[in-house]
Amino acid sequence: MKKISLSILGLILLSSFSISHLKKPKAIVVWQPSHQTDTGKDFSEAATCNGIVEAAMASEPKLKEHKVWSLNKPNLHHSNVGSNTIVEHTSAVIDGKISGYAYEIQQANKKKPDVFIAVHNNGGTKRHAVWGFVHDGDQYEVENRALAARLIAAISAVTDLENRGVQLDSSTGRNDYTCKSTGKKAFYSLDEHVNTAKYRVLLEIGDNDLSEEFLENKANQRKMGEAIKAELANWLNEKNLN
């Protein structure tokens, strides 16, 4: 009888472990809020984007998620400023120091993420809108475009931001950072030669001039973060990644 009881107890414990193991989130998500503090007058893109990301991470469902952020980190160049499309601000090593962007991507790669989501504010657009960006020529461009489209649609649905659709990073034609594979202008943080995540998207939320008051509103940040998280979770479930 004692042996039978021990056997039953063992089966229960094994079953509990198996169920717990099966329920563990599978996908690893990395969030990268902008670290830029120089994109508007009396405006911190870093603060608004971090507010959105923090709201997303705090909302249900809980995932295996991490934030990478270079703001105020010592021994980096361009840790609080800089463009994602300029070599000097991204891939360049200056006086032995890597950039804020390079630090963030290095930290992200250490987490071995499946999904990488960068959150920024646009500028000079004269539009109160939201855009998605994906890397041109990427192996997973179709999947990335689909994910970005769903995330910006979710943001637009809970705000008055116009949905401007998903663009290729090469479409901006900005500055001098290029992808080694295509030779086209690119966003450093989305480049597959730099960022090891399979799925990589960048969200440009609002315009740092036209949408300034909207972006600085904490309730709006929370609303957008929660919407992004809910749609991301839906997408992960459909991809059987969560």
Domain count, the chain: 1
Let me know how many helices (H) and strands (E) the chain has, helices first. 6, 6
Q: How confident is the model at residue 75 (pLDDT cuts 50, 70, 90)?
A: very high
In this prediction, residues 95-101 reach a mean pLDDT of 98
Range of the domain at 42: 26-238
Spatial distance between the Cα atoms of 235 and 132, rounded to a whole number of angstroms: 16
What CATH number did the domain enclosing 194 receive? 3.40.630.40
Q: What is the pTM of this model?
A: 0.90
- Mean pLDDT taken over the chain: 92
| Residue carrying structure tokens 């703001």 | 71
Residue 120 pLDDT > 90, yes or no? Answer: yes
5 located within any domain? no
pLDDT band at 23 (very low <50, low <70, confident <90, very high): low
Average pLDDT for 155-174: 96
How far apart are the C-alpha atoms of 38 and 182, rounded to whole Å? 30
In a domain, 1, yes or no: no
pLDDT at 35: 98
Q: What's the CA angle centered on 114, arms 97 and 159, to 5 degrees?
A: 90
- What pLDDT, on a 0 to 100 scale, did the predictor assign at position 20? 44
Counting beta carbons within 10 angstroms of the beta carbon of residue 165, is it exposed (0 to 12), middle (13 to 18) or buried (19 or more)?
middle
Say how far apart CA 229 and CA 117 lie, in whole Å. 11
Q: Is residue 234 part of a domain?
A: yes
Residue whose token pair is 């090891």: 196
Whether 43 is covered by a domain: the verdict is yes
Q: Which amino acid would we find at residue 83?
A: S
25 pLDDT band, cuts 50/70/90, is low
Task: Specify the residue for token string 């987490």.
Answer: 111
CA 64, 69, 72: angle at the middle one, nearest 5? 150
Kindly tell me if the per-residue pLDDT of 21 is higher than 60.
no
Residue 155 lies in a domain: yes
19 belongs to a structural domain: no
26-64 per-position pLDDT tens digit: 899 999 999 999 998 899 999 999 999 999 999 999 999
The HSE-up count of residue 129 (CA atoms within 13 Å, CB side) is 13
Percent of the chain scoring above 70 in pLDDT: 90
- Give me 179's structure tokens: 């992808």
Do the domain assignments include residue 33?
A: yes
Structural domain includes residue 173: yes
Burial of 128 (0-12, 13-18, 19+ CB in 10 A): middle
Q: 73 vs 36, 76, 79, 196, 236, CA distance in Å?
A: 13, 7, 6, 23, 32
